[in-house]
Chains A and B, each alone.
Chain A
């Protein structure tokens, strides 16, 4: 079973902090792009069963219902789609209308992730988002009316910093099943790089991060930045975090199948001209896969089940990683019992330290 990811590299306008692969367009996503994605799907070389489908971006809510349908049909045509397949779409609040939401339902989408980011108007302006708080609340209502399984993305650390608790309150008020809370980063080569002096210091960052964890205590804090009500974990993202196989379609999408991590061209024209052509394919060694698997698993609260690791790789985690793991346990970043090894609360906050020890 694999996850299928479809990248929609278009947005209405580009947010100044964003370094995802995207370009701005005035109208709907060009049908030529949809066509290319379908072609890539249909000519895909591996046959697998699909457990999850994820429309990410960019802004997938700019794809018209017909386009989404063509893509889902292509997937159904090519792959065996699991009965309980999770099909997610990412959406921007300003696009959401009752009609659009109905369309998603018709296409078979069963999970919606809203790019709310904040319920504070000043913060949304700072982030250069096109929607305001009222639009966000309305969009949540519309989505919640139709979809049981829906969630939102939030950003902390933006100015004004102290709007964060109120955003958390409003989030809880609309009762999403899933929340992703990411710290704002000032990525190089984005307009925000020039404002990096605005970045909050580590202490403040940590305060905001912990506020989220505390306020969202009713949710399962199952990944560093992700919270879910019981039964509403994002199964697609879990595939990444468990380093399982997935196929990525569309510009800049990644795949990981049969030990090969491959990347599609980020350039949309290049992608559309030769759908399925890989920009880069790296065949990973077993050791590299083990390292990546551990790094990814340690983003998850559940960590890694020792027996599952042994089953997958035919060898125990120790002795290969014994020194690193023991060091991390001693430093209080991991804990271990009979069954599993997993990050502690500090292990979430200092997650790169875990990664550094594992690669070492």
Chain B
């Protein structure tokens, strides 16, 4: 029996990173008996290995809970736990579109931070009912009054009815559920209208094929019925559908207002699009749901299979992973040095790291990735204009009139005592001062315009260090602006290596060239011949380093009869070498490409 629509509540938990969303979700799962106590662990919904290792949520996760409220009625609550890190904010937007309400969590000790603000605005924009929740009230440094004030002053929400919780100790969880029931409206959908269901997520499962996660907005979907994916214009039969508890629990139907999963016999991954609307094939809806805006990647890098023959496997893996993370983009690319591979675009550096890690773990691939960069707008002397996402595609300096780079406007929230340090950092990163707002006596917000390239590298880490974790950052792209930019090439034995070139600010080219060359020298093992590493701008060599040749490599001892051990030793060493890329005569370990990543750290 489907739950009457008046007794369904769909909501997300949103917050700045680490404010306790997943921990609060644990308490709600416990209280509703959704997950048996013995199966509970910390942050139960963070199921991916990477999430558990890093202690952060990467993927939004939906789960259905049954709750008997104080009014004696049974409710169906669909919760979506979202990530807090800025790189995964697209997950938040997608989740909010499937909800009528949001819990806005604020860490009582940290107060409102940049993503609190950004995610609150997203919820306001999506017209959701927002319930402020002040969490971690058990901490000695908790300042509930200040948190409330900040919610009102910075975000402009009424904090009168904010719920106080300690997700860790389980305090306030029931109040949260009651507020969800009584303050969040039930879904507005019409169960008699033709079916419209929003695809908000999907995953590829090697046994079951594509599993699609939907929020049914109008009508109902039944097992065995024929459905149509509206924008892709593809018809399927529903093999199985059901709800997430949080495992897949099959049922007969999903009705307007409900959240669940659908398995059809979807063969090609390209025929499914996150944000698409599913309707009834016999009785289709007239218009699809609004869907999602396309994401704009800001950081790009090349990824190449360590073994060239894995190219097709990498393509499959990318297609499958994209189902589950529609925020990255990719297209085939090739490099003289690294062969056939892909150019990928991401929402940030952490996003890039996670995508690479997931590709390697979930698809058992070994990848070489190149230095990340932003996109550049090139205007040639000839008047021709285009965007490049890859430094190696830059035309020769003589043909270029202007290089423009993307700029962002950053809101940096921090306690006032760190303001001068933050301003110092922004200046170093070529920041242009816009204004500083003093929120109260303790906190302020600095607004700066900066080249995106400066932010993507290590700005966030630096900010965190400078402000002892209290500073936070939110930014938006404001367009391209001309910059004093040059292409920095790295040469191995005189040959430029396309995968190692980058576009940098003129004033820092020499310093960066030096660091890159010295990193490379340390990362490349000795070879039989001397290897020269040079950094160059155009034809001007600015740095030269050499790797001395391998002088000897021999086990002079007599191994007696132990020849198999010797062979196995060699095979193991060889395995390490397989992870290297042969560039000309030089064997370059993959780590060399990654070692170049954080060039701004002090060596």
Contact = CB atoms under 8 A, between A and B. Distances in A.
Contact of A206 (B551, B558, B567, B577): B551
B582 to A, nearest CB: 10
A261 B564 contact: yes
Contacts of B570: 295, 352, 355-356, 358-359
A18 to B, nearest CB: 11
Contacts of B558: 180, 182, 225, 237, 240
Contacts of A288: 564, 567
B525 to A, nearest CB: 12
Contacts of B550: 202, 350, 353
Contact of B556 (A183, A240, A256, A291): A183
Interface string A323-360: 00000000101000000000000001111110110111
B556 A182 contact: yes
Contact of A292 (B528, B563, B573): B563
Contact of B561 (A180, A206, A246, A331): A246
Given A331-B528, A356-B574, A359-B570, A296 B563 contact: yes
A224 interface: yes
Given A209-B552, A360-B574, A295 B566 contact: yes
Nearest to A237: B558
Interface footprint category on B: 20 to 34
B554 A224 contact: yes
B571 interface: yes
A225 B558 CA distance: 8
A35 interface: no
A72 to B, nearest CB: 20
A338 B413 CA distance: 77
Interface stretch (A39-47, A114-122, A126-134, A247-255): A247-255
B561 A5 contact: yes
A287 B274 CA distance: 50
Contacts of B556: 181-183, 185, 209, 224-225
Given A331-B528, A350-B554, A351-B555, A255 B561 contact: yes
Nearest to A205: B552
B551 to A, nearest CB: 4
Interface in B546-599: 550-564, 566-567, 570-571, 573-574, 577
Contacts of A66: none
Interface residues of A, number: 44
A273 to B, nearest CB: 22
B571 A359 contact: yes
A355 B566 contact: yes
A135 interface: no
A284 B574 contact: no
Contacts of A159: none
A84 interface: no
A56 interface: yes
A146 interface: no
A13 interface: no
A286 interface: no
Contact of A356 (B562, B563, B577): B577
B552 A292 contact: no
A295 B555 CA distance: 12
Those 10 A-B pairs whose CB atoms lie nearest each other, nearest first: A254-B561, A202-B551, A351-B554, A352-B553, A355-B570, A183-B556, A225-B556, A359-B570, A261-B564, A359-B571
Given A202-B552, A261-B561, A352-B573, 8 more contacts: A183-B557, A205-B551, A224-B554, A253-B561, A256-B563, A288-B564, A348-B554, A351-B555
Interface of A: 5, 56, 180-183, 185, 202-203, 205-206, 209, 224-225, 237, 240, 243, 246, 248, 253-256, 261, 282, 284, 288, 291-292, 295-296, 331, 333, 348-353, 355-356, 358-360
Interface of B: 528, 550-564, 566-567, 570-571, 573-574, 577
